[in-house]
Amino acid sequence: MIHLYHGDGKGKTTAACGLSVRAAGAGMKVLFAQFFKSGKSSEISVLSNVPGITVVTPGVYHGRYKNMSDEEKAETGDCYGAFFADIAESSRDYDVIVLDEVVSAYRYGLISPEALTRFLKEEKDKCEIVLTGRDPAPELKELSDYVTEMKKEKHPFDTGVRARKGIEF
């Protein structure tokens, strides 16, 4: 089935991490793939050491999309397209596939919408797929079996508190 964790609240990646650990604890093989992150978030060091979990990142990180130059956007799109193709190719090797922040990659056109929707339709009966990110397209919600919105009511960032290691990253 397909799980979608979305919204402006904290907890989307955290929920995906928890599901990954639970699945690995049940003997399942998990692929945890992150888009739009540097690969240095605190959860990566732990997940990488959990038997049954494979962590992959695209190898290109230019920060937030809105801060990227046109050249960086093009480079990121090329990299993400190849990265996603590799994930799709290896999907048969896993019971759970987490695509952390893929919703943003989809929204910004950094991966082919057709490739992602085709992948979801073809693989949803073969493995669990977890999507995270903000502002999912209606078709991603429609394709998903679980849709959970993390809604921010209050966050320290709104008062100028920067992201804290081990809590937000």
Tokens of 5: 């964790």
Give the mean model confidence (pLDDT) for residues 29-44. Answer: 93
- Within a domain: residue 46? yes
Range of 120's domain? Answer: 2-151
Check which CATH number belongs to the domain holding 36 and give it: 3.40.50.300
Give the mean model confidence (pLDDT) for residues 14-22. Answer: 98
Q: Write the pLDDT tens digit of every residue in 67-98.
A: 999 999 999 999 999 999 999 999 999 999 99
What pLDDT score was predicted for residue 73?
Answer: 97
More confident residue, 68 or 38: 68
Provide the pairing of β-strand 2-6 with 53-56.
Answer: unpaired
Total number of domains in the chain: 1
- Within a domain: residue 94? yes
Name every residue whose Cβ is closer than 8 Å to that of residue 158 and which is 6 or more positions away in sequence. none
